[in-house]
Chain A
Amino acid sequence: MVIQPGPVIFNTLHLPEPWKLSTYVSAGGYSALRKILAENIPAETIIAEVKTSALRGRGGAGFPTGLKWSFMPRQFPGDKYIVCNSDEGEPGTFKDRDIMRYNPHALIEGMIIAGYTLGAKAGYNYIHGEIWDIYEGMERAVEEARAAGYLGDNILGSDFSFDLYNHHGYGAYICGEETALLESIEGKKGQPRFKPPFPASFGLYGKPTTINNTETLASIPYIMREGGQKFLELGRPNNGGTKVFSVSGHVEKPGNYEIPMGTPFSELLEMAGGIRGGRQLKAVIPGGSSAPVLPGEIMMDCTMDFDSIAKAGSMLGSGAVIVMDETVCMVRALERLSYFYYEESCGQCTPCREGTGWMYRVVHRIEHGQGRPEDLDLLDRVAGNIAGRTICALGDAAAMPVQGMLKHYRHEFEHHIEHRKCLVQSGAM
């Protein structure tokens, strides 16, 4: 797998043992934290810098990080928490795994700075259970940081104390939803909470909590070291910075590519070596499996940033780009995705619990030559009745792939229903 280094996230990759604390320090690591503590930089100044950077949440929602941080009641006298969401289970996404593997200290420094800014005394990093070697690596990195005085009481001789702990998941996609993740840290089933109250007022253990994605927090040291303006200028207005795009599927070189926000999709595809075996591009899911699919020709006109992909009718999401060539049957692709949401629905809300299974069964029968003429209207209706009617976004995430497929590839579904077989004859899958 290929990793394209960049200035913000994979900035130690060219050095030997890029994951080590000493390597990170030699590349300017922990200097932002040192400066903040030595000069007692006020939280307002840090939040203003993050706002200037136009850093938007890298976990999928794209919410402005500086604004999110400003919601935290910093003066609240009791315990407060910063939580990192490294529960990376959105099909197509595998960037946080490599961030933690190759640059764990960027995340740790980012979390310490966040803890300082938000008045948190502790942080938890929730790591996807399936990437066990990464969890163990993060445990080592946290120990390394603690031994060097970056974590614990009176960090670097200041009066700021903060500690950081890793918590692992164990196989539940829903825990990537932030309130399900909090429930999971509390030792419960990962079922999302009603909002409001939002985590900023009632979060982990009922205390004010801010939750950010791994890549978001790992971008903070660069912003504080080099300035929010410089980060912004790496990308484009309203879409600051570089971003790691995980490219999977039918490309010659799958991998993680740290490139400026706003890079044309065509350039990213070229970096990834183009389509495998000289085949033609058919379709792209541009932001993880929950993002509506887009036909290749629409993607070729897009740039990789939140605004461009949204304008084309999909989402940049987590930056997980699933590339499909001309041999893919879209009915079969949707059948597998629908099964995923059915399998991972937590069962709390009726529209999602019943609707995901219903959608899967309908797509399954279409794929297996038993589709009925009325099935596509039925899918439209079921998807429309899940979206927006559940506690968390998993309902929408299950509906959007169905809606995207029916919007752009309805003819393939109709063909399946009418002829009881696939329109795509070459059929790699």
Chain B
Amino acid sequence: MSMLSAESLALIDKEIAKYPADQRQSAVMSALRIAQVEKGWLSTETMDFVAHYLGMQPIAVYEVATFYNMYNIKPVGKHKLCVCTNLPCKLMGADEIADRLKKKLGIEFGETTEDKQFTLVEGECMGACGDAPLLLVNNHRMESFLNEEKIDALLDELKNK
């Protein structure tokens, strides 16, 4: 089993405290998110550790990790870019944004660059359609009102990180 850092465990404990004492499982979504931030993706070993920590069956943790699409159940690049292509974003040029990213990175949706820097995925509605078109960087950073210049600047910034 793959341990998590003391910092991650402290964050998970804070989440567990939100729920009744006999409902530790309620913290599983947060725990997996925290584990993913630390490890980059959720290996079976990491999920097993989360299961053990929360007193859950491992299968119940795998079910959650595979059901919600922001969990990385396979290794991803250092920067995962998730582009919304749903209708409101599409009306505002999401396809052109996606094409620009594919061309610049040389990959299709669902692929990772050879240098393991970038993974590109197609996303569903992120609930921010007034800011379309948009994408998420590693789940937690939203880039809005995208155009070609912004895409180029974002890739330059992330490359140097």
A interface vs B, CB < 8 Å? Answer: 1-2, 79, 88-94, 96-97, 124, 128-133, 165-173, 184-190, 205, 246-250, 254-256, 285, 289, 320, 322, 324, 328, 333, 336-337, 340, 343-344, 346, 428-429
Contact = CB atoms under 8 A, between A and B. Distances in A.
B26 A186 contact: yes
B114 to A, nearest CB: 26
Contact of A91 (B63, B86, B130): B86
A190 B127 contact: no
A170 B90 contact: no
10 contacts: A97-B128, A169-B68, A185-B26, A188-B64, A255-B130, A322-B129, A333-B87, A340-B124, A343-B124, A429-B95
A248 B130 contact: yes
Contacts, number: 164
B127 A128 contact: yes
Nearest to A121: B20
Contacts of A254: 129-132
Interface stretch (B104-112, B133-141, B152-160): B133-141
B71 A170 contact: yes
Contacts of A168: 29-30, 33
B25 to A, nearest CB: 4
Given A171-B70, A187-B26, 10 more contacts: A1-B131, A94-B130, A128-B127, A131-B126, A133-B142, A169-B29, A170-B29, A190-B68, A248-B130, A336-B85
Interface string B36-77: 000000000000000000101000100110011111000000
A132 B88 contact: no
A21 to B, nearest CB: 20
Contact of B125 (A91, A133, A190): A91
A337 B129 CA distance: 14
Contacts of A249: 87-88, 91-92, 129
Residue among B26, B127, B128, B139 with the most chain A CB within 10 A?
B127
Contact of A130 (B20, B54, B63, B127): B127
A216 to B, nearest CB: 17
A322 B127 contact: no
Nearest to A86: B127
A248 B88 contact: yes
Contacts of A289: 86-87, 125
A189 B63 contact: yes
A239 to B, nearest CB: 23
A167 to B, nearest CB: 7
B27 interface: yes
B86 A340 contact: yes
Contact of B139 (A79, A132, A248, A429): A132
Contact of B130 (A89, A96, A184, A256): A256
Contacts of B150: none
